[in-house]
Amino acid sequence: MQFRNHRIVGDIIELARRYGQEGADELVFYDITASPDGRTVDRSWVSRVASVLDIPFCVAGGIRSIADAEDVLNKGADKISINSPALENPGLITELAKRFGSQCVVLGVDSRDENGGYFVYQYTGDPDRTEAARRTTVEWVTEAQDRGAGEVVLNCMNQDGVRKGYDCTQLAAVRAVCQVPLIASGGAGAQQHFLDVFRIADVDGALAASVFHSAEIPIPDLKQFLDDNGIHVRTCT
């Protein structure tokens, strides 16, 4: 087990280094090892990532308190992202923003399109626990901003993992109420999908995982494609 964990960490360090060199603008690490039952988690991997990475990175998962956030930020992360704990206790957003500044407090939202209405889901990390949070996505994003969230990552669950493109309609609806940076998540399968989401939903960033991990879409190619199509991006040198 120990060996296996070390190997996985080694993998993410190498992957982080590779993405940094390839021209990714920011990395998000979803810490799925973070224990939901409140046991102490080993976050030494955050320091190791910070030591090799020279672009901003965000840690998502397992942050339930000021102390958790402080630990992650002191180890060199630039931002922390909270999702279910914020739904359980919206005051956590306010506290984190007051203590560390809005610029490092990211709200992660898992949202599902149900008959044209958008609703927030929580505990999406565990299929057995996933449940509707009984909030509309637009209401939740509005409240979180008022509480001091400095960025929103909107993961559109209907699209997630199917690689048919971002949910531009939903993202555009959230964009209309979101004055802080909005990052699209869920559905990227082709370069055109990135162009579409920037053009149609006017998002500030587009997040993807599998198409980058598999190198199916090389980041330098994607950035060149976006630049050629008039989207301002930091092109790789």
Partner 1 sequence: MSIAIIDSGGANIASLLYAFQRLSTPAELTTDTRVIQAADRVILPGVGAARDAMDRLRAADLIDTIRGLKQPVLGICLGMQLLTDASEEEDVECLGIIPGTATKLPSSVTCPVPNMGWCATRSERQHPIMAGIADGSYFYYLHSYALPVSENTIGTAEHAEMFSAVIGKDNFVAAQFHPERSSAAGAQLLSNFLGLA
The residue ranges that bind partner 1 (CB under 8 A) are 20, 23, 25, 47, 50-52, 54-56, 70, 73-76, 78, 100-103, 150-151, 179-181, 204, 232, 234, 237
Hey, what amino acid is at 16? A
Q: Which is nearer to partner 1, 70 or 160 (CB)?
A: 70
How wide is the angle at C-alpha 97 spanned by C-alphas 96 and 103, nearest 5°?
120
Of 216 and 228, which CB lies nearer to partner 1 in the complex structure?
228
The nearest distance, CB 205 to partner 1, in angstroms, is: 8
Reported as half-sphere exposure (CB side, CA atoms, 13 A), residue 196 has a value of 15
Question: What region does 163 belong to: left with phi over 0, alpha with psi -120 to 50, or beta?
Answer: left
- Burial state string for 21-32 with b = 16 or more CB within 10 A and e = fewer than 16: ebbbeebbbbbe
Taking the complex as a whole, the smallest distance from the CB of residue 57 to partner 1 amounts, in Å, to 9
The distance of closest approach from Cβ of residue 4 to partner 1 in the complex, given in angstroms and rounded to an integer, is: 27
* Nearer CB in complex with partner 1: 27/87: 27
Q: How far is the CB of 103 from partner 1 (least distance, A)?
A: 5
Helix (H) or strand (E) holding 107: strand 105-114
- Cβ at position 161, least distance to partner 1 in Å: 27
Q: Is 222 exposed, middle or buried (0-12, 13-18, 19+ CB in 10 A)?
A: buried
Q: Which is nearer to partner 1, 53 or 87 (CB)?
A: 53
Rounded to a whole number of angstroms, the minimum distance from the CB of residue 119 to partner 1 is: 26
What is the spatial distance between Cα 231 and Cα 73, in angstroms, rounded to a whole number?
A: 31
In the bound state with partner 1, the residue whose beta carbon lies nearer, of 134 and 232, is: 232
Q: Which two tokens stand for residue 198?
A: 């920037």
**Is the Cβ of residue 8 or residue 52 nearer to partner 1 in the bound state?**
52
For partner 1, give the closer residue by CB, 23 or 165.
23
**CA atoms 201, 203, 209, 214: torsion sign:** positive
* Minimum distance from residue 17 beta carbon to partner 1 (Å): 11
Calculate Rg over the CA atoms of the chain. Answer: 17
Q: Please, what is the Cα angle at 210 between 88 and 47, to 5 degrees?
A: 65
